[in-house]
A and B are shown apart, each in its own frame.
Chain A
Amino acid sequence: MTARIARWSLIALTVVLLAIWLPQVKNLLFEYRFGKTQLFYSPVIEKFIYTELVGAGHQFVYRDQDGRDYDREAFEQLIPFIYYKNMELWGKLPLELAGQTFDKAAIRAERLVLEFEPRDLPEHSPRIPLFPLLESNPGRSRLRFPEDILRPGAALTFINSDANRRESELTDSFTRALAKAGFVFPVRATFARVSILKAFDAGHFLIDDQGKLFQLKRVAGAPWVRSVPLSEGFRVRAIKISENQGSDFLGFLLAEDSRLFLLGQGDDPLTPLELPGYDPERMELKLLFNPLYRTAIYSDRQEIHAIAMDRAFKPIARYQRRMAMAAPRLVDTLWDSLTPVNLQWRTPESRYPRLTPQWHGEKAAIGMSMALVLALAWLRWRRAPLLGNWASLILVALTGFLGLIALLLFPPEAESASS
């Protein structure tokens, strides 16, 4: 009996490992090279235009939403705010659009790209909860890392990096300043952009025990605290800060109910973005700013959506399409027909490996039937009793070729029945 349990343990192990590894081997053998569609709103023709790879080599199409094709240079001229350097080379600056004239400086001043990806969600990336609180007023041309690190918890503890020891004075002054501003400890979440390669430092955004939001900076070594006004009951899920010079916005704020906002610096800091169908769990989002429009583009690996907005973020046009990369490939169809399930190990949305089952649906019945026929033939060839091997046959019927491989690796022991 124990030998039988041992064999089935090995078979279970093998089936799981095959379901994880074989799809990865298939992807290595038949690498998918079609990237995501690049979608824009053209201020010239006031339509959505896109470019995508549709075949081997460099088979790109440059197309508008009505299906009209362009060559590459014509396409780039449809989005002159993005290709403004090429426009300058081609002698097409300054540019006249919508009754206004834009030179290079005017375009540069308004251009901005903000991104929010599933990996920006705290639950999609592990994080050691220690953060440098930069000096926001360094009195020099570049920001620099401080010699201490912030531990947000029941207090704002600072730890000196040279001695690996708590800095009592800093800890007390920052904890007191935050408490004085109405912050209720412990700190529930912290959001900041940890980099010295940024235009300026906006400090940290901290959520207190009651869900309220505060901005904390170190200015000339002293605490600077601002309570960020949010409506009653508003719950913050994540914040992504991107300190860009000349922008009114510090980044994105994602609410618990998946609504996305731009985070500003004034008394009414949240600018809502209308993004139907947006799912922060699996979609990457880009917000493109130009002197005339703002365009939100968001996509998973199947669909791409775009919303063009005026300067006040009021939607003026929408478009969505299934990307070329979503078209089923022959090799995937064949694979899905041979096995009933893949265990997906990594996804681009998360840093954590997972065992996410991807069921292949009805078409897997083909592979399951073929594997079952082969298993029956193999048992007959071994002169093994079919009824005595019903469990092996059920395994193959349920798991197709995964089970068949495991069965061939660990065939029934002639003596196992007696042990």
Chain B
Amino acid sequence: MWFAILLKEWLKLRWSLAALLAVHLGVLGYVFLTLRHQFQIEHSEMIWYWAFELRRLLYTPLQYLPAFTGVALALAQFGPERLNGRFRLSLHLPLRGDWLVWSWVAVGALFGALLSSLTALGLYLLIGQWFPREAAFSAVLTALPWLLGGWVAYFGANLALLEPAWPRRLAYLGVSLAFLGLLYQERGYQEYDQIFPALTGLALLFIPAVILPAHRYRHQAMIGGAS
């Protein structure tokens, strides 16, 4: 049964994952081209000065990519279920509803983590191409809150998609956007080094939270109120 559930998630996600992989590689390629261009038109020591002293981030095109990926994964997983009412059928499987939801979310989060790891590795290799390893490592540390943004966006979109009532959907979106807003306030590199563990701990609260809208959906489905 579990295998069948995971297989279903894979079948739902595979084309979206392929498209997202292409987008990630495309954005990494764009960062590569812009860096290469910079080093062709400007003296290398000046670019190092911008990066280290003026704290200019040379990889900002990656900033919102994880959040976009999170929302896209959530839509690919739960959009069709919600549109056609298939979600109601899934909740009638002879399994505990909460474990069922967590297993779906685990699949999406795992693929999101894989794409994020790819982005982080690509960023390290790209920056390491033109800068010393300290700068490449610093770029990954700087990008960590953006990657956490992917997690928050994925769970925020899941909460809104699974929720049957509109006012509550807006509440979930508000909470998720308020969290996302905290993750994009850097004015230079590595500013989130100290607060990142606390923000990660806070973001883990989304794991239990995602059960609530599914629970409400199931309850409303039973009384015939779900849409």
Chain A residues within 8 Å of B, Cβ to Cβ: 2-3, 5-7, 9-10, 12-14, 16-17, 20-21, 126, 128-132, 145-149, 151, 159, 161-162, 164, 194-195, 345-346, 351-355, 409-410, 413, 415-416, 419
Contact = CB atoms under 8 A, between A and B. Distances in A.
B87 interface: no
B210 A20 contact: no
10 contacts: A6-B212, A9-B209, A10-B209, A17-B178, A159-B132, A161-B48, A164-B129, A351-B188, A353-B185, A413-B215
B211 A3 contact: yes
A147 to B, nearest CB: 5
**Does more than half of chain B's interface fall in helix, strand or loop, or is it mixed?**
helix
A369 to B, nearest CB: 26
Nearest to B216: A413
B49 A132 contact: yes
A149 B48 contact: yes
A151 to B, nearest CB: 7
Interface string B161-193: 000000000011011001101100101111111
Interface stretch (B59-67, B78-86, B104-112, B194-202): B194-202
Contact of A2 (B174, B187, B211): B211
Nearest to A123: B194
Contacts of B210: 6
A361 B178 CA distance: 26
Contacts of A164: 129-132
Given A128-B189, A132-B45, A415 B219 contact: yes
A407 to B, nearest CB: 12
A127 to B, nearest CB: 8
Q: Which of A13, A20, A159, A346 has the most C-beta atoms of chain B within 10 angstroms of its own C-beta?
A: A13
Given A13-B175, A130-B132, A130-B134, A355 B198 contact: yes
A5 B98 CA distance: 12
Contact of A7 (B135, B174, B185, B212): B212
Contacts of A147: 43-45
Nearest to B186: A353
Given A10-B209, A161-B45, A164-B132, A410 B171 contact: yes
Contacts of B191: 126, 351-353
B15 interface: no
Given A161-B45, A164-B129, 13 more contacts: A2-B98, A3-B212, A13-B179, A13-B205, A126-B191, A128-B138, A128-B189, A145-B45, A147-B44, A149-B48, A351-B191, A352-B192, A415-B215
A167 B189 CA distance: 26
Given A12-B205, A352-B193, A145 B198 contact: no
A126 B129 contact: no
Given A9-B208, A13-B179, A345-B182, A3 B215 contact: yes
A256 to B, nearest CB: 21
Contact of A351 (B53, B130, B187, B207): B187
B30 interface: no
Contact of B202 (A16, A162, A410): A16
A6 B182 contact: no
Contacts, number: 129
B134 to A, nearest CB: 5
Contacts of B47: 161
Contact of A9 (B51, B181, B205): B205
Contacts of B135: 128, 130
Contacts of B68: none
B215 A128 contact: no
Nearest to A3: B215
Given A12-B205, A147-B44, A128 B175 contact: no
A415 B220 CA distance: 10
A2 B134 contact: no
10 nearest CB pairs, A to B: A126-B190, A6-B212, A161-B44, A6-B211, A3-B215, A9-B205, A9-B208, A9-B209, A17-B178, A2-B98
B60 to A, nearest CB: 17
Nearest to B46: A145
Nearest to A131: B52
Nearest to A153: B134
B208 A5 contact: yes
Interface string B210-227: 111001100100000000
Contacts of B192: 352-353
Contact of A21 (B43, B132, B138, B178): B178
A6 B193 contact: no
Contacts of B179: 13, 17
A111 B219 CA distance: 76
Contacts of A132: 45, 48-49
A346 B192 CA distance: 11
Contacts of A151: 132, 134
Contacts of A5: 208, 211
Nearest to A5: B208
Contacts of A145: 45-46, 49
Contacts of B132: 130, 149, 151, 159, 164
Contacts of B216: 3, 413
Contacts of A419: 215
Contacts of B129: 164
A89 to B, nearest CB: 37
A2 B131 CA distance: 48
A164 B132 CA distance: 6
Contact of B44 (A129, A131, A162): A162
A152 B179 CA distance: 38
Contacts of B98: 2-3
Given A21-B178, A126-B193, A132-B49, A10 B205 contact: yes
A266 B28 CA distance: 52
A6 B171 contact: no
Contact of A128 (B134, B181, B195, B219): B134
